[in-house]
């Protein structure tokens, strides 16, 4: 039996708007199996309009004021489930992230999308082109996940399975994400390629380099948009570590990145083109990190 292209209004659903995290977790326990959390809705609602997503229940967490925070807490940036992308357009932390986060946020969709979409929602959705997923993976973020069966902390490597697929259980909610607040010894860079302003990234790179006496002592190089999940290119990081980051070292790093990934293929970019783009974005991100 074949589907007759009939869609642009969602399938009917039950709607809940809990006011506390506990209520939300209770609802998830009861309805999570065939239900979804509604936060920003900028990814979920289009899918529902196309009837590709057909949740029987929507648990709208937008009324849970307790989840709307971004806090610098010692060495961590704690991001609550309702922190919108727009929050990050202005510097909200000191250190290396103060410049980087606004630079990244500007690439996320467009202004109206950033008004509603959330940082944590983006992580839960796990689109390969998600900028925050890339940052989280590159910085070894901590995901705090709540559920009636208990709370847990998860590392990105144990969270992202493949495109749009994570280890988040149907009765769980990401309540907070923690990023390390890198100090000024770190230099950062971010570059993204998309066809039009605001489009999904076809390739992007986030770079974090810590220098001591002019040498790279720690390097984090993450690539996203080009593979099914964000990846740290540890081989490229290894090539840079302990060096002065001279041009030939940088070239080697970008080539390793381009060659070691297993690229996605779609109508916008072939595997070969994605390699070209990864090479270019790694180069740009590294150049940015080295130019103050």
Sorted by sequence, the CB contacts under 8 Å of residue 159 that are 6+ apart come out as 123, 126, 143, 166, 167, 168
Alpha helix (H) ranges present in 50-95?
A: none
- End-to-end Cα separation, the chain, in angstroms: 60
- Contact between 69 and other proteins per CB under 8 A: no
- Contact between 153 and other proteins per CB under 8 A: no
Nearer to other proteins, 141 or 286 (CB): 286
DSSP letter at 167 equals S
Q: How far is the CB of 93 from other proteins (least distance, A)?
A: 21
Among 1, 73, 150, 213, binds other proteins (CB under 8 A): 1
Within 10 angstroms of residue 83's Cβ, the number of other Cβ atoms is 23
DSSP letter at 239 equals H
- Contact between 72 and other proteins per CB under 8 A: no
Among 23, 140, 199, 218, binds other proteins (CB under 8 A): 199
- Contact between 292 and other proteins per CB under 8 A: no
- Contact between 51 and other proteins per CB under 8 A: yes
Closest residue by Cα to residue 110 from 128, 127, 85: 85
Nearer to other proteins, 45 or 71 (CB): 45
Nearer to other proteins, 60 or 218 (CB): 60
- Contact between 271 and other proteins per CB under 8 A: no
Tokens for 29? 């326990």
Place of tokens 């932390």: 93
Interface of this chain with other proteins, residues 8 to 27, rule: CB under 8 A: 8-15, 17
Q: How far is the CB of 193 from other proteins (least distance, A)?
A: 6
Instruction: Using alpha carbons, list the distances in angstroms from residue 94 to 56, 73, 75, 101, 214.
Output: 43, 11, 10, 11, 22
- Contact between 100 and other proteins per CB under 8 A: no
Nearer to other proteins, 87 or 232 (CB): 87
Residues 246 and 263 sit within 8 Å (Cβ to Cβ)? no
E-strand stretches of 201-285: 203-212, 215-224, 231-232
Among 21, 27, 83, 115, binds other proteins (CB under 8 A): 115
Among 23, 26, 60, 169, binds other proteins (CB under 8 A): 60
Among 150, 197, 248, 292, binds other proteins (CB under 8 A): 197
- The residue count for binding other proteins (CB under 8 A) is 55
Q: What is the dihedral of CA 283, 284, 290, 291, to 10 degrees?
A: 150
Residues forming the site for other proteins (CB under 8 A):
1-15, 17, 38, 41-42, 45-46, 48-51, 56, 58, 60, 62, 86, 106, 110-113, 115-116, 193, 195-200, 267-270, 272-273, 276-277, 279-280, 283
């Amino acid at each position: 039996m074949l589907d007759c292209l009939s869609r642009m209004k969602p399938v009917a659903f039950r709607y809940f708007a809990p006011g506390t995290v506990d209520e939300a977790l209770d609802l998830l326990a009861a309805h999570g199996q065939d239900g979804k959390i509604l936060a920003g809705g900028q990814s979920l609602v289009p899918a529902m309009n196309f009837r590709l997503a057909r949740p029987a229940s929507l648990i709208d967490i937008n009324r849970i004021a307790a989840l709307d925070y971004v806090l610098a807490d010692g060495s961590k940036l704690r991001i609550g489930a309702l922190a919108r992308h727009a929050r990050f357009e202005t510097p909200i932390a000191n250190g290396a992230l103060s410049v980087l986060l606004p630079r990244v946020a500007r690439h996320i969709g467009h202004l109206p999308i950033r008004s509603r979409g959330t940082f944590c929602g983006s992580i839960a959705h796990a689109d390969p082109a998600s900028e925050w997923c890339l940052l989280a993976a590159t910085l070894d973020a901590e995901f705090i996940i709540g559920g009636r069966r208990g709370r847990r902390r998860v590392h990105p490597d144990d969270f992202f399975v493949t495109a749009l697929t994570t280890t988040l259980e149907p009765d769980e909610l990401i309540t907070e994400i923690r990023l390390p607040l890198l100090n000024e010894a770190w230099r950062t860079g971010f570059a993204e390629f998309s066809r039009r302003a605001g489009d999904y990234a076809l390739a992007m790179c986030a770079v974090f380099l810590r220098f001591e006496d002019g040498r790279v002592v720690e390097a984090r190089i993450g690539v996203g948009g080009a593979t099914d999940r964000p990846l740290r290119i540890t081989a490229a990081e290894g090539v840079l570590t302990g060096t002065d980051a001279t041009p030939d070292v940088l070239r080697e790093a970008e080539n390793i990145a381009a060659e070691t990934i297993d690229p996605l293929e779609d109508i916008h970019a072939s595997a070969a083109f994605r390699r070209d783009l990864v090479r270019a974005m790694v180069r740009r991100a590294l150049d940015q990190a080295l130019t103050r």
